[in-house]
Amino acid sequence: MQGTSSIVRVSAALVLGAASVPFLASPAWAAAPAITSFSPANAAVDDTITVTGTGLNQASAVVKVNGITATVTGTPTATSLTFKVPPDTSGGKIALTNVGGTGTSSTDLFIAPPFTTVADISGTARTTVATKLSLSIPAGKKVLRVFDTTVGDRVAVVTENATPGGCTFEAAVYDVGMVNLGTGDCRRVNAGWVETLTPTSITGTQTLQVSNLSASAGSVDVTVVKIPADANLGVLPLDGTTKVATITNPGQNGYLTFTTVAPNQKVSVKTTDASAIFACCGLRWGIYNSAGTKLGSSIGNAYLDGLLLATADTYQLRIDPLDARTGSVTVAASLTPADANLGALTTDGVTKTVSISSPGQNGYLTFSGTAGQKVALRVSDVATSLGVRDLKWGLYGPTGTRLSNSAGNAYADNITLPVTGAYQVRFDPVGTKTGSFTAAAYLLQPDLDLGAITLDGVTKVATISNAGQNGYLSFTGTAGQRIAVQTTAASSVFGCCKLSWGLFTSGGTRLGGATGNGYLNAVTLPSNGTYQVRIDPTESLTGSITVAAWDVPADVNLGGLTTDGTTKTVTISNSGQNGYVTLVGTSGQKLTLKATRASAAFGCCYVAWTLKRPDGTAQKRWTGNATGKVTLSATGTYRIYVDPIAHRIGSITFAATVS
């Protein structure tokens, strides 16, 4: 009956028990709720918002902020309702739906983005796309502007008239779910363009946050603009025919399409004549499959070489100018011939000259190997058409694992084959280059045991006579023992640097080394065991070198030195050994230190002496006969360390006086 409430009786058969259960039906004239105001206007996630209005306590109330459901707290009244700000919303209109209908706020609730507090926010407002805003922002503060977008929209922020200049402003755009779609630091703002990276996936209100990062107030003009959808630039033929791709709208991207008809085809792409505004790096492009997966990419004028397309599919070559730049680029694509089988390569050093004649094509030579074998590879006589370093090549195992990587005329040394099977030496000319080259492979002999070396300085000549082979001398050492090694009389073929050598533990850890004729200063052995001095000629060179090693005693205490000018002569008689004299000094004391009568073996510069503080840190260093003035920085016992260079031995005289 109109104008009265009525009790509706429901059969006990339809509800919980034998008794009838009464409930109030909604009046036929129930009005939609109305939101007249809410507070606060700016909030953070989990803050409580109080809504005032009418009809707020009707049944089945649901509150949403920008389409995201919020949790109602407490018991609503007809004129008041509270809820908590939900996560994953960028703010916007508040909507209350209940049995009476839906009421929507006339103003927006502004939500602080991540890493922003409510106290950081100095101003808020709603705007529309394509409306220029002049923003004045206090030092260290942020302003929020909200605007509406629909699914598929992609926007950018045009920035102008930033005052002051320098690194003052930052701009960021957040989608309906408060996901950051793009942030422009001060460089982007100063450049005038902040671009979102992805189109929005939900219709609703987005948030623009502009931050003043400086210590002074400033202003900037901003305009949110809508970027047109990616431009379909047509079909790209796969026969090398060029196609000019032009982007005319700021922020817009574009794409060319091509289709492959068989799996495992290779395509090469070349871009040329990019507009000058793109410079070296202002145009990005790449190949994407129909699922949107990027398979390969480059920038500007470039060449994408032999990209393997695993499935027959329709692909896009996507073109993405940086910022708001527009212009054109010329694109050509072609199917690349399958890798050329260039034949078999023997492992006895016999050379094989081969050619790659199809632009973009790669090739390979094959040989059979056994697990544990060591091989070396050489490529020589690379055609000038391939450039100095524009032939990339390497050794690949039976499973496709790359074992070496070289370019141009080069030598790959001492490669251990991991498994038994067929190996490929693969060749990849850069870009569209073609030409010939010569390859050779060598099966290396196992490292040569050159015998034992004593630790008393007795020399031993080590000779490597097989191309590519290495060798080693061995000795038994104990933990804590100090060993020095000297090499001399290296064959002239090795020059300064074409033979490397080092001291290794039985586990293969390198403790130190040098090249050619050199010296390894005393190193401490970490454990008991057998040690090796390993000798490794560069590439296929052969020859000999003389090696000596010493068991170096601990640094020797050579006695005390007074500060009254009395001289003290000290002698180092063991190769590789250092020694020290002590003197007592006080902080602030000024001393003159003099070294004279250094042995001829030390020459001008082959004995170093260092003043070390009581805590062991070095204060100053000299070489040979020299005089130095120092001011002591601490009180205590100082040491003058004497360190002959390499294996030299001899004497030197010291005197110290107070300045």
Contact 626, 652 (CB under 8 A): no
Give CA–CA dist 309/302, Å, rounded: 19
Contact 317, 287 (CB under 8 A): yes
Task: Look at residue 245 and tell me whether its pLDDT is greater than 70.
Answer: yes
Contact 177, 89 (CB under 8 A): yes
Task: Look at residue 319 and tell me whether its pLDDT is greater than 50.
Answer: yes
Give CA–CA dist 123/136, Å, rounded: 9
Give CA–CA dist 387/410, Å, rounded: 13
Residue range 380-411, pLDDT digits in tens: 999 999 988 899 999 999 999 999 999 999 99
Query: In this predicted structure, what is the pLDDT of residue 12?
Result: 34
CB atoms within 10 A of CB 101: 14
As a whole-number percent, the residues of the chain with pLDDT over 90 amount to 82
Contact 200, 177 (CB under 8 A): no
Query: In this predicted structure, what is the pLDDT of residue 194?
Result: 86
The residue ranking higher by pLDDT, 610 or 20, is 610
For range 605-622, the mean pLDDT? 94
Query: In this predicted structure, what is the pLDDT of residue 190?
Result: 85
Give CA–CA dist 536/301, Å, rounded: 43
Task: Report which of 54, 221, 263, 66 is spatially closest to residue 148, judged by C-alpha positions.
Answer: 66
Query: In this predicted structure, what is the pLDDT of residue 474?
Result: 97
Task: Report which of 325, 327, 316, 89 is spatially closest to residue 195, judged by C-alpha positions.
Answer: 325
Instruction: Report the SS3 class of residue 493.
Output: helix
The β-bridge partners of 345 are none
For residue 155, give every residue at least 6 positions away whose Cβ sits within 8 Å of its Cβ, in sequence order, or none: 129, 149, 173, 181, 196, 206, 224, 225, 226, 227
Q: Which residue carries 């097989």 as its tokens? A: 466
Q: Is 151 exposed, middle or buried (0-12, 13-18, 19+ CB in 10 A)?
A: exposed
For range 253-264, the mean pLDDT? 95
For residue 400, give every residue at least 6 positions away whose Cβ sits within 8 Å of its Cβ, in sequence order, or none: none
Give CA–CA dist 211/429, Å, rounded: 50
563 Rama class: left (phi>0) / alpha (psi -120 to 50) / beta: alpha
Task: Look at residue 608 and tell me whether its pLDDT is greater than 80.
Answer: yes
Task: State the distance between the two ends of the chain, measured CA to CA, in whole angstroms.
Answer: 119
Q: Which residue carries 């259960």 as its tokens? A: 21
Confidence of residue 7 (pLDDT cuts 50, 70, 90): very low
DSSP string, 237-296: -SEEEEEEEEE-STT--EEEEEE-SSTTEEEEEEEE---GGGTTTSEEEEEE-TT--EEE
Residue range 562-573, pLDDT digits in tens: 999 999 999 999
Residue range 214-237, pLDDT digits in tens: 999 999 999 999 999 999 999 999
pTM of the shown model: 0.58
Task: Look at residue 187 and tell me whether its pLDDT is greater than 90.
Answer: no
Give CA–CA dist 370/388, Å, rounded: 33
Measured at the CA of 41, the angle between CA 36 and CA 43, to 5 degrees, comes to 135
Residue 232 corresponds to which amino acid? N
Task: Report which of 346, 285, 342, 281 is spatially closest to residue 318, judged by C-alpha positions.
Answer: 285
Confidence of residue 584 (pLDDT cuts 50, 70, 90): very high
Q: Is 440 exposed, middle or buried (0-12, 13-18, 19+ CB in 10 A)?
A: buried
For range 607-623, the mean pLDDT? 95
Task: Look at residue 341 and tell me whether its pLDDT is greater than 80.
Answer: yes
Give CA–CA dist 470/464, Å, rounded: 7
Query: In this predicted structure, what is the pLDDT of residue 47?
Result: 97
Task: Report which of 50, 48, 20 is spatially closest to residue 38, judged by C-alpha positions.
Answer: 50
Give the domains, in start order, of the chain with CATH numbers: 34-111 (2.60.40.10), 118-227 (2.60.120.380), 231-336 (2.60.120.380), 342-443 (2.60.120.380), 448-552 (2.60.120.380), 556-658 (2.60.120.380)
- The dihedral sign for the CA sequence 423, 428, 434, 440: negative
Task: Look at residue 28 and tell me whether its pLDDT is greater than 80.
Answer: no
Give CA–CA dist 427/562, Å, rounded: 71
Q: Is 618 exposed, middle or buried (0-12, 13-18, 19+ CB in 10 A)?
A: exposed
Around 399, how many Cα atoms within 13 Å sit in the side-chain half-sphere?
5
Confidence of residue 30 (pLDDT cuts 50, 70, 90): low
Residue range 506-538, pLDDT digits in tens: 999 999 999 999 999 999 999 999 999 999 998
